[in-house]
Structure 1
Amino acid sequence: MKPFFKTRLFPVLALCSLSSPVMALGGGLADHPAAPITRQVEQKAGRMIERAMDRHLEKQVEARADTTRQQLAELPAALPVHTTVGHKAFNDVVLDDGFRAVERQWLVTGTRSELASLGRRGITILERRELSGLGMTVVRFQVTTELDSRTALETALPQLADRLDRNHVFAPQAENGAIASKTGIPQWRSLCTTPVRVGMVDTAIATDHPVFSNARIIQQRFLELAESDGQLNEPNAHGTAVASLMVGSRKDQWPARLPGATVYNASVFYDRNRSLSGATLGHLLEGLNWLAGQDLSVINISLTGPENRLLATAVNSLRNQGILLVAAVGNQGPATPPLYPAAYGGVVGVTAVDASGELYRWANRGKQVMFAGPGVSVPVAHPERGMAADSGTSLAAPVIAAALACRRVDYPDDQAIEALIDEARDLGERGHDSRFGHGFIDL
C-alpha cells in the first residue's frame, strides 16, 4: 500500500552505506551488467531500513503516550492548582463519572432577572461575564457541599435547571511530552495561499520557534480568575505542535500548509504538571467568545471532555454564525463513549491514522468521527526540543481544519464540508463508518 504520508529517517545515509561496496568493484555502476538488479536490491534494503526506523520511532512515541496516559489516570482525586504568584486558585478534582472539574464550581447562563435568583444561601458568586460574541451572560459560582450536585442545584434553582453545569476541566488530545528524536522532514505541501483566518483554542504557542519565522500568529491569554492573585501557569507545548501543522515551515525543506493564514490562538490551558495540562470550562468559553469576534472561517479545538450544557450553547452560537468547528475525537480508546465538543452535531470530528492508513490505536470511535487525518508519529515543533515526533487525534484535527479553511474560500460552511467529503479516501467500511468517518483526507 502506498503510504499516505511518510516520516523519513536517514534514507540517504542508509543508501550510501549500501552503495559503497558496489562502486568499489571497479567501473561505473551504470556500466555493470548487474546494475539494474543491484539498484533494486539497494532500493529494497533502503526501504526495509526506513520502515524499521519508522517502527522504532512509533514505538518510542507510543511508549511516551502510554506513560502520559498513566500519569493522567494517576492524578490525585484533588489536585491543588496555583497561580504564578503561588496563590491557590482551586482544586482540580475527579467526579463520580470519572471526568474532572473545578471543585464545587458551577456556571450558569440566563437573563439578568433569572440570574438574580442566585443570591441565596449556599451560593457564592465568583464572577459574571458578558460573552457578547456568544450571546451569553455567564455567572461562575461556588456552592456548599450540600448543593454540590445537579439534583440539589436543579431543586434550588428550577428556573435555571437546564442552563447550569459544572466548571468542567477539559484535556488536550495529543501526548504533549513529545520525543526529542530524529523525525525527518515533514512530507506535505501548501494547501492554499489565500489569506485565510483560522482560530485555535489551545495552550500558548511558542511563537519564537524557528518554524514560525514567517507565520502570522495573534494570541490572547484567558487564564485569570477574579478571586485569585496572579494568573494560572501557561504551558506551550501542545499549542506549538498544533500550530506548526498549519503555519509552521522550514526554508527550502517544507512549506506551511497555510502560508497566507493568520492564526488567532486563545490560550486557555493551565499546567497541572510538566506533561499534563487542563482547561476550565469558564476559560474555554472566554476564549471562544474572543474568537467569535475575529471574523474566522474555522476554529480548531484539539481538546475533549464531558457533555456540558454551556459548551453546547457556545458551539451552537458559533455554528449559527457560520464558523466551522473542527475537534479531535479523543484518545481514550475505542470503547470510550463519545467525547465533546467533537460529539456535538455540526462539529467536524477528526480521528488519527498512521503512515499506512491504520487507525491510531487509542482513537475514540463512533458516529461523531467525520474525517481521518495524519496523527501518528507526526513531526511537530516543540518549544524546547526543535522538532519532535508526537501522536494523537489533536494532531490530525489541524490538518482537517487547514483543508476546510481553504475550501471556505470557495464554499459556504456546509458546502465546504461536502467538498471535503468528496475528496476523502474511504478506508474502512464502504461509506461513513465509526472508525474513519467519511475517510482519509490525503493532502
Structure 2
Amino acid sequence: MAGVAMVALPAAAMPQIGLPSLPTPRGGIDGLARPLLDTLDLDRLSPDAVARQLRSARLDRLTGFVRTHRDRVEFDAVRAPALRGVLLATGVAGADRARAIAAGYRIIDEEVIAELDLTFVRFALPEGLPLGKAQRQLAALMPAAEIAADNLYFPSGGLPPAASLGALAAAQTGGPGGARIGLIDSGVGPLPGLSARVVQKGFATGAPRAGDHGTAVAALALGAAGSGSALYAADVYGTDATGGTASAIARALGWLSGQQAAVINISLVGPDNALVHAAIARAQAKGALIVAAVGNDGPAAPPAFPAAQFGVLAVTGVDTSGRVLPEAGRGKHVAFAAPGRSLAPAAGGGKSVTVRGTSFAAPLVAGRLAQLYPAPAPGRIETAVRGLIGQARDLGRKGRDPVYGHGLVCGDCGR
C-alpha cells in the first residue's frame, strides 16, 4: 500500500504523554513547554513504573495547567480542567430556568447548533461559588437538564514547541467522489504532495490557525484515505492557550455534520462531558462515524473521552513490531490499533522527523475507514465497519481484546 504523504513538522518528537503542558506566553496549542517527563524513554521502563510515572505526571500537569491559568480555568466536579465560572446546560425547561435565576445563576447566552438540532444554555455562576459545587447545585435545581462544565480537551500525542506554521493549507481540487473526512484539532498547514480539497473553519480566538498537531494528523488521515479526498478541518484552539473547549467541539461537530463529513477524527482527550456527548450522539445519528484516540495516560488510567463514548471507534497505537505503546490507554472500548510510533512525515527543507502517540494512530484508521464510508449513509455504517474489521490483523488475544481491539489497521502506513 502507498505510504502517507509528507508534511512539515518541527524537530524529532520523544514519546508523548498526551497531557496538558504549561503554555508559553505565546499561547495556542503549539505553545506548549514540554516537561522533563516527556524526555523519558517509556519503552525502557517496567509496566509498573510506566503506570506510576504517568499517574504522577497527569496529576502534576493538570494541577500546573490550572494554576497557570487560574484566572480563566478551574477544576470541575471530577477534577477536570474547565473554563472558570461557566456551566453549560441542555434540555432546559422554563421552570428550571427560573429556579436557576432565583438561586443567583445568570444566563450568558443560549446557542443553537442547528445542524445537530441541539440547544444549550450558558450560565454564569453566583459570585464566589466553586465550579464543582455549582455543578451539583445546578443539577439539583434543574433535574430535567444535563449540566456540564466547559471542559478543556488536549491532544493525545504532542509535538515539540514550534512557532505557528503560518499559512493555512490551500484549498485544492480533490478527485470526484472522494471521501469526506472531518478533523477536530488545530488548524492545518500546507500539505505538499496531497491531492485534497481542504476547507477550514475556526471555533476559537485566532482560528483557523495552522498548527503542527493538526497538520500532522491531517496528513496521516489523507494519506491513508488516498487521493481525491476532501478534508474539513475545525480548529478548536486557534491562538488561545485555554482553547479546545467542550462548547467549541460541539460547534465543530455541528459544522462538520453540515459539511457532510462521513468520518470525523478527534485526536483529543478529556472527560465525559454531557454537551460533547450529546453532540457526538446527534452527529452519529445523522450518519457520521467518529474515530478518536484512546489517549496516552497509560494502562491504569480511566478511559479517556470521546474515545470511550458508545459508538465511537477508539484507536490505540503500536510500535513497529506490533506491540502496543506502553503509554496507550486500555479498555473494552478499544476498537482498532494502528501505527503510533516511528511515523516519519517529512519536515521543511527536506528534513525528516518522527512522531509518536495515539493521536497519530487514529487518523490512519479514519483514513482507511473513509475509503469504505466516503459519505454519510446510516444504512451503510455496519457494512463499512465490518469491512474495516475484515482488514484488521489480529494482535494479542484471539479476537477483540481491550489492548488491540479488533486488531491492526493500516500497518504499513506512515513509514
Report the TM-score when normalising by structure 1: 0.71
Tell me the residue number matched to 1:415.
Answer: 383
1:347 offset after TM fit, Å? 0.6
Long gaps (5+) in structure 1: 7-56, 82-89, 180-191, 225-230, 249-255
The equivalent of 1:152 in structure 2 is 137
Alignment of 1:34-433 (within 5 A): 60-61=14-15, 66-67=37-38, 72-73=61-62, 75-80=64-69, 91-95=72-76, 97-110=78-91, 113=94, 116-117=97-98, 118-144=100-126, 145-146=128-129, 148=131, 149=133, 150-160=135-145, 163-177=146-160, 194-206=177-189, 208-212=190-194, 214-224=195-205, 231=206, 234=209, 236-247=211-222, 257-271=225-239, 278-380=243-345, 387-409=352-374, 412-433=380-401
Q: Which amino acid aligns with 1:352?
A: G
Alpha-carbon offset, residue 386 of structure 1: 6.1
Q: Which runs of 5+ in 2 are unaligned?
A: 5-10, 18-33, 40-53, 163-174
2-structure distance, mates of 1:74, 1:209:
36
Q: Shift of residue 115 of structure 1?
A: 6.7
1:209–1:383 CA contact under 8 A, matched in 2:
no
SS at 1:299's partner residue?
strand
Q: Which amino acid aligns with 1:140?
A: R
Asked if the contact 1:218–1:263 (Cα under 8 Å) also holds between the matched residues in 2, the reply is yes
Q: Give the Cα–Cα distance (whole angstroms) in 1 for the partners of residues 203 and 262 of structure 2.
A: 21
Calculate the aligned-residue CA RMSD, in Å. 3.4
- SS of residue in 1 equivalent to 2:345: strand
Instruction: Please state whether the residue corresponding to 2:279 is helix, strand or coil.
Output: helix
Shift of 1:409: 4.8
Q: Secondary structure at the match of 2:371?
A: helix
Larger RCO, structure (CA 8 Å, separation 6 or more): 2
Q: Which moved more, 1:98-107 or 1:62-71?
A: 62-71
**Alignment-mate amino acid for residue 159 of structure 2:** N
Residues 437 and 373 (structure 1), Cα distance of their counterparts in 2 relative to 1, 3 Å cut: same
Aligned partner of residue 338 in structure 2, secondary structure: strand
Deviation digits for residues 44-97 of structure 1 (CA, Å, limit 9, x no counterpart): xxxxxxxxxxxxx9994469794288584562433339xxxxxxxx61233464
How far residue 315 of structure 1 moved from its aligned partner, in angstroms, is: 1.5
Query: Take 1:337 and 1:104, find their aligned partners in 2: how far apart are those partners?
Result: 26
Shift of 1:155: 2.3
Distance (whole Å) between structure 1 residues aligned to residue 72 and residue 207 of structure 2: 13
Q: Distance in 1 between matches of 2:79 and 2:348?
A: 31
Classify 1:232/1:412 alpha carbon distance in 2 versus 1 (closer, same or farther; 3 Å): closer
* Residue 96 to residue 129, structure 1, CA distance change in 2 (3 Å): closer
**Aligned-pair distance for 1:233?**
9.2
Q: Distance in 1 between matches of 2:233 and 2:16?
A: 28
Q: Normalised by the size of structure 2, how large is the TM-score?
A: 0.75
Alignment CA distance shift 1:353-1:58 (3 Å): farther
SS of residue paired to 1:380: coil
CA distance in 2, matches of 1:124, 1:394: 38
The 2-side partners of 1:146 and 1:414 are apart by: 46
Number of equivalences: 352
Counterpart residue type for residue 403 of structure 1: R
Give distance in 2, aligned partners of 1:438 and 1:58.
Answer: 30
Q: Is the 8 A contact 2:97 2:142 kept in 1?
A: no
Q: Report the CA distance shift for 1:211/1:240 in structure 2 as closer, same or farther (over 3 A).
A: farther
Quote the Cα distance in structure 2 between the aligned partners of 1:127 and 1:178: 35
Q: Which amino acid aligns with 1:428?
A: G
Give aligned-pair identity as a percent.
Answer: 32
Contact map agreement 2:183 2:232 (CA 8 A) in 1:
yes
| Range with greater deviation from structure 2 (309-318 or 346-355) | 309-318
Q: Give the Cα–Cα distance (whole angstroms) in 1 for the partners of residues 96 and 260 of structure 2.
A: 30
Q: Distance in 1 between matches of 2:84 and 2:349?
A: 33
CA contact (8 A) 1:375 1:395 kept: yes
How far did 1:321 drift? 1.1
Check whether the contact 1:367–1:434 (CA below 8 A) recurs between aligned residues: yes
Q: Which one has a bigger Cα radius of gyration?
A: 1
Alignment check: 8 A CA contact 2:225 2:371 kept: no
Other structure's SS at 1:388 match: coil
What is the CA-CA distance between 1:157 and the residue it aligns to? 2.3
